[in-house]
Amino acid sequence: MVVLAKGELEQIALPAAVQKAAPPLADVPEVDLGGGACRADAARAVVAACEGHGFFKVTGHGVPAGLLARVEAAAAAFFEMAQPEKEAAAAAAAAAAPGSPFGYGSKRIGCNGDLGWVEYLLLGVAAAAAAPLPAHGEASPSPSYGSFRDILNEYVVAVRAMMWEVLKLMAEGLGLKEKDALVRLVSHEESDSVLRVNHYPPHHELKQQGHGRLTGFGEHTDPQIISVLRSNDTSGLEISLRDGSWASVSPDRKSFFVNVGDVLQVLTNGRFRSVRHRVMVSSPRPRVSVIFFAGPPPRERLAPLPWLVAEDGGRRRYREFTWREYKASAYRTKLAENRLCHFETE
């Protein structure tokens, strides 16, 4: 990890007044996909969680524990490599999509000056091939990156299947006539999804200087439809509650955590909540998380679903826009900004 300049330290290290750790979230909503509950109950639980925190835990997901362990080990090995090696290894991902944020990054998040105590790998996911870029089989600059990419491909296939199941349950719980209305958006061959692997290194030296808690990834909402996160056993994730306070989410490496994204808030006419969240770094152990952000095709026209507008007494809370338009607007914002306000009808 690169040494921080003074201005950067001020942005990442919190002032003493906000050093206090957030209390744990007491009622993490849980959805068991393993058939423990009847389907209608699971669908109701998904909807209630999306309306409440906009966040829930998924158990009984069917993604093999062995695959999760391999992803975790490969990610740790990747981030242990020397800086130039990491940059070179991931350069192919950036070259495959020029002008995109893809590739390896350290501290800098997006392109509008956001900083965090994090290094990451950001990869585009080709929906048709279910493969992060660059596609499987291409020459890789290092054998270790090549095998990491293969493991991530396997992970994407498994997580997508689980995510589709969650989206089907959502559609059922919302009473949509078209049961695959949401799955369709993320499974199209042009669907624009992203895989992010984050590594939050421990910060022994800064801790000794009195900076107990650092901002790993600053507060924000995710722009896409849903995000599916899995982390190792290190804490750090916090979500914002409706009263504006923050609650920490206890890590659970056996489960996944699902976030409602901005587009899903729009599709549901504001019924589901795109949850504001952040990652704070205070643990002596590194945190590693992998997040799959499922987005629609760039040309897709997005607007509140008619059924949900009707249920809301005909009030349409957002205007229609394309995902390309939304993304362009999002990339002009800083992380913490409210990106949906530009698309509200009143």
- φ, ψ (nearest 5 deg) of residue 31: -120, 125
Whether residue 229 contacts residue 197, with contact meaning beta carbons closer than 8 Å, is answered with no
User: Is residue 302 close enough to count as binding ligand GA4 by CB under 6 A?
Assistant: no
Which of 28, 63, 96, 109 is in the footprint of ligand GA4 by CB under 6 A? 109
User: Is residue 321 close enough to count as binding ligand GA4 by CB under 6 A?
Assistant: no
Residue type, 214: L
The span from the CA of 127 to the CA of 16, in Å, is 45
The span from the CA of 141 to the CA of 291, in Å, is 24
Of the pair 196, 211, the CB lying nearest ligand GA4 is at 196
User: Is residue 104 close enough to count as binding ligand GA4 by CB under 6 A?
Assistant: no
Whether residue 113 contacts residue 332, with contact meaning beta carbons closer than 8 Å, is answered with no
Which of 60, 101, 201, 286 is in the footprint of ligand GA4 by CB under 6 A? 101
**Shortest CB 204 distance to ligand GA4, Å:** 26
Q: Which of 292, 286, 293 is nearest to 77 (CA)?
A: 286
Of the pair 292, 318, the CB lying nearest ligand GA4 is at 292
Region binding ligand GA4 by CB under 6 A among candidate stretches 33-41, 106-114, 130-138, 234-242: 106-114
Show the site string, 167-206: x = touches ligand GA4 by CB under 6 A, - = not: ---------------------------x-x----------
User: Is residue 298 close enough to count as binding ligand GA4 by CB under 6 A?
Assistant: no
Region binding ligand GA4 by CB under 6 A among candidate stretches 129-137, 141-149, 216-224, 242-250: 216-224
Region binding ligand GA4 by CB under 6 A among candidate stretches 63-71, 166-174, 229-237, 332-340: 332-340
β partners of residue 196: 122, 291
Please give the angle made by the CA atoms of 262, 264 and 268, to the nearest 5 degrees.
120
User: Is residue 331 close enough to count as binding ligand GA4 by CB under 6 A?
Assistant: yes
The span from the CA of 302 to the CA of 176, in Å, is 16
Map residue 231 onto helix, strand or coil: strand
The residues near 25 (Cβ < 8 Å, ≥ 6 apart) are 53, 239, 247, 248, 249, 250
Of the pair 116, 173, the CB lying nearest ligand GA4 is at 116
Of the pair 142, 333, the CB lying nearest ligand GA4 is at 333
The span from the CA of 279 to the CA of 105, in Å, is 17
**Shortest CB 179 distance to ligand GA4, Å:** 27
User: Is residue 335 close enough to count as binding ligand GA4 by CB under 6 A?
Assistant: yes
β partners of residue 125: 132, 193
Of the pair 43, 275, the CB lying nearest ligand GA4 is at 275
**Shortest CB 90 distance to ligand GA4, Å:** 14
Which of 97, 147, 333, 342 is in the footprint of ligand GA4 by CB under 6 A? 333
DSSP state letters, 51-103: HTTSEEEEES----HHHHHHHHHHHHHHHHS-HHHHHHHHHHHHHHSTTSS-E
User: Is residue 58 close enough to count as binding ligand GA4 by CB under 6 A?
Assistant: no
User: Is residue 223 close enough to count as binding ligand GA4 by CB under 6 A?
Assistant: yes
Per CB under 6 A, residues contacting ligand GA4 are 101, 109-110, 112, 114, 122, 194, 196, 220, 222-223, 293, 330-331, 333-335
